[in-house]
Structure 1
Amino acid sequence: MDQQLEVFVTVAEKENFSRAAEELHMTQPAVSQYIRSFERIMGTKLLERTNKYVRLNKAGEIVYHHAKEILGLYTKMHYLIDDLTNNTSGPLSIGASYTFGEYVLPHVLAKMKESFPFITPSVTIGNTKDIAELVLGHQLDVGIVEGQYEDKNLVIHAFSEDSMCVVASPQHPLSEKEEVSLEDLANETWIIREKGSGTREAAERMFHTYHIKPKKSLEFGSTQLIKESVEAGLGIALLSDWTIHKENANGTLTILPASAISIKRQFSTVLQSPFQTKALQVFLDTVTNKETLSEVKNDFYNRK
């Protein structure tokens, strides 16, 4: 059954029998036979076929969703059993929200690689909500998310604190002030992330805590785009210290002196299953180790 699931998922993702056969190192007739056999077992057609494309129908979408979960669990089971007798090695699928994934995680993985070179991590970057859902669907071994995310079906453990700051272009009028008031901030255009983002959640928490009602807001889908937009003078933003260190050092972004505001948030690990491969245990030990994170931060902040 696992072979049929793998063939079905590959055909669904490639939307083409020939490309799926090439991916699976099989012949096209063999792929077609697997699909026909699988559809007989399911008792219904799962794919719409034309000369131009192969697409999932409604039943196929349901089967595809669960097939991905089943294959993820099957792979995890295989590596758990393999771990009983072998050294720490193998694949590790990690998901991370943008701030941690793009600015912190690469340095954590480099530290892990020094002692465990046979672990082969793959990384998916997305907003907090998307990463949590992928973990819940067994498509990621572990997620790192930002902010106060909650889900009763996930094991969520806060392991590090992240400081947030309000930033503007050096040419922005507020950059000239010795102290920026809450009223000043309310009168500005704010550039914020999309719903589901940990950075968006932090901004909304700040607005609520300090009773700030922005005059205008713009919603952009990436931290890099927000930084470029702030540099261009489109508005101000609340961003993590990690994300603006280089720009602040180079003088392309300025941290506004708003002492009335103090916003911190948590980085948290997100797990779905209590069973962990050795590779996952090693990653969790590394990423939650305070000394390791301190070394990473020192190295990061000392870079020019």
Structure 2
Amino acid sequence: MDQSLLVFMAVAETRHFTRAAEALHMTQPAVSQHIQALESNIGTKLLDRSNKHVRLNKAGEIVYKHGKEIEGLYTRMQRLVDDLMHNASGMLSIGASYTFGEYVLPHAIAYLQVHYPLIKPTITIGNTKEISSLVAGGQLDIGIVEGELEHGKLYAEPLAKDRMYVVTASSHPFAAADDIDAVRLQQETWIVREEGSGTREVTERMFLERGLNPENRMVFGSTQIIKESVEAGLGISLLSHWAVRKEIALGTVSRLTVGGRPVERDFSLLTGMHQQHTKAAEVFIGILRERKGWPEQA
């Protein structure tokens, strides 16, 4: 990969010539020369300089974005060449949205490590938009996200269905029921995720489909704090069965369906549309396809 482009990305990420030089084990004048050479080749300045730091200008932002994509392609090329002579091994970058990433993916990674210890996974957790962008840009090998997705650079394969239930404290009056009519949920205090969350999106869809518009709502920024709040009796919530399986087993919370069935949502496996997989990626994709019941099968 072009050395001047690598130096430029280091300067962009550290926002400082000296820190970039230290990270690259180079002298500061050498870093400056690489930046000047790249700017000369591109035909314009890429950085706004001040006494304290440097920042990307508009042209620099374009070069940095595409530089990261080139870096990802170069890394993948090297791994594919390495795979010709070795068994499945090396780095595997995986991205997942929050529910799958926090409650399901660790079990799949544990299985991977037992059977393929030479594969070294790294995990990125984010929302669907963030993960899909990273996969499309070649910065992640694989993505697992929820919801519908249309992206010209991505192939989306149905992977798993998630069942979601209304969750209450074990002391709540609804706790003894297995199912409940939607109308009885209208006056309850609902604890919901923040805007942009996949869980929040499904909750709002459930409200709409069942004619609910609860006035009492609390918005919390993580599933963990919602679970703790439900256990404490602050309110009820709609959560994935993956997220509350331990609490259900311990009897600290209860789950119930609305109208006789859980709320369902789909998770998809994302890969680059024209991306050639490394052996490590092929192995992990195979594991995900074969064991769609995570973590119940773990």
- Verify same fold: TM over 0.5: yes
| 2:180 alignment partner, SS class | coil
User: How much does 1:166 deviate?
Assistant: 0.9
Which amino acid is 1:240 matched to? S
Structure 1 CA distance, aligned partners of 2:193 and 2:66? 31
Structure 1 CA distance, aligned partners of 2:209 and 2:195? 18
Matched, 1:284 2:249: no
**Deviations along 1:232-266, whole A, 9 cap, x unmatched?**
44432211111112223334333245444421122
User: How much does 1:286 deviate?
Assistant: 0.9
Structure 2 CA distance, aligned partners of 1:75 and 1:4? 17
Which amino acid is 1:278 matched to? K
User: How much does 1:141 deviate?
Assistant: 0.9
Aligned residues: 297
Which amino acid is 2:236 matched to? I
Matched, 1:188 2:184: no
User: How much does 1:26 deviate?
Assistant: 2.2
Which amino acid is 2:156 matched to? I
User: How much does 1:167 deviate?
Assistant: 1.0
1:225 aligned partner = 225
Q: Is the 8 A contact 1:95 1:142 kept in 2?
A: yes
Structure 1: 5+ residue stretches without partners:
300-304
Which amino acid is 2:214 matched to? P
Which amino acid is 2:283 matched to? V
User: How much does 1:285 deviate?
Assistant: 0.4
Q: Is the 8 A contact 1:181 1:258 kept in 2?
A: yes
| 1:163 alignment partner, SS class | strand
Q: Measured at CA, do residues 257 and 294 of structure 1 come closer, stay the same or move farther in structure 2, by a change above 3 Å?
A: closer
Alignment of 1:163-242 (within 5 A): 163-175=163-175, 179-242=179-242
Q: Measured at CA, do residues 229 and 53 of structure 1 come closer, stay the same or move farther in structure 2, by a change above 3 Å?
A: farther
Matched, 1:124 2:124: yes
1:302 aligned partner = none
Structure 2 CA distance, aligned partners of 1:177 and 1:214? 20
User: How much does 1:188 deviate?
Assistant: 2.6
Structure 2 CA distance, aligned partners of 1:105 and 1:190? 28
Structure 2 CA distance, aligned partners of 1:165 and 1:294? 17
Q: Is the 8 A contact 2:95 2:143 kept in 1?
A: yes
Structure 2: 5+ residue stretches without partners:
none
- State TM-score, norm by structure 2: 0.90
Which amino acid is 2:80 matched to? L
User: How much does 1:165 deviate?
Assistant: 0.8
The structure that is helix-richer by fraction is 1
2:296 aligned partner = 297
Q: Measured at CA, do residues 189 and 296 of structure 1 come closer, stay the same or move farther in structure 2, by a change above 3 Å?
A: closer
Q: Is the 8 A contact 1:192 1:200 kept in 2?
A: yes
User: How much does 1:208 deviate?
Assistant: 2.9
Alignment of 1:45-124 (within 5 A): 45-124=45-124
Structure 2 CA distance, aligned partners of 1:189 and 1:57? 48
Q: Is the 8 A contact 2:95 2:125 kept in 1?
A: yes
Output the aligned Cα RMSD: 2.3
2:29 aligned partner = 29
Structure 1 CA distance, aligned partners of 2:49 and 2:114? 49
Identity fraction in percent: 54
